[in-house]
Amino acid sequence: MSPFDQLEPTALFKALESAKPTDALPELSALLDAVRFNADGLIPAIAQQHDTGEVLMMAWMNREALEETLRTQQVCYFSRSRQKLWRKGETSGQQQKLKSAALDCDGDTLLVQVEQTGPACHTGRRSCFYVSLSTEPPAITSEPLIDPKTLYGKKSP
């Protein structure tokens, strides 16, 4: 039993702002009911390598992808271009094993800490964030670990 159990989903994250680590929180299903998915039913999910802290990528999850991620401990996104679940690494083999997952203060963004096998990026780079705007002119900051042709067989990603 949690003091937050009686709250409407819309009020839950507001109430959790003043919650403490020792407080009993609602069950996972109640928290998932309160997640603020956008009009397309999605939330942004940031993937970070758990030990080095490197931010690897950002993609989207619907509730089904989030539940599968938590159940299987393998990160699953929702592909907006293909409009279906995207089990990270299902084509490339470059999976993300879940280490931890946390929602933000207003329940509309997820951070997943992962163990990334090889490159996270479809270009073969470790991280998707490689187009630096901090120099003039801008610059590419990393090279592929693996040729994307190898990652995806003969076909283009």
Q: Candidates 3, 6, 11, 27: give the one binding its own copies (CB under 8 A).
A: 27
Among all chains, which residue has been given the structure tokens 């996270």? Answer: 120
Provide, rounded to whole angstroms, the least separation between the CB of residue 19 and its own copies.
5
- If binding means CB under 8 A, how many residues of this protein chain bind its own copies? 57
Contact indicator for 41, 108 with CB cutoff of 8 Å: no
Is 106 within any annotated ligand binding site?
yes
Mask for 92-131, x = binds its own copies (CB under 8 A): ------xxxxxxxxxx-x-x---------xxx-x--xxxx
Provide, rounded to whole angstroms, the least separation between the CB of residue 147 and its own copies.
10
How many other CB atoms sit within 10 Å of the CB of residue 11? 12
- Pairing between strand 43-49 and 55-61? antiparallel
Task: State the number of CA atoms in the 13 A half-sphere of 50 facing the CB.
Answer: 13
How many other CB atoms sit within 10 Å of the CB of residue 97? 16
Task: State the number of CA atoms in the 13 A half-sphere of 135 facing the CB.
Answer: 8
Per CB under 8 A, does 58 bind its own copies? yes
Applying CB under 8 A, which residues contact its own copies?
Answer: 2, 13, 16-21, 23-28, 31, 44, 46, 48, 52-55, 57-58, 70, 98-107, 109, 111, 121-123, 125, 128-134, 136-143, 148
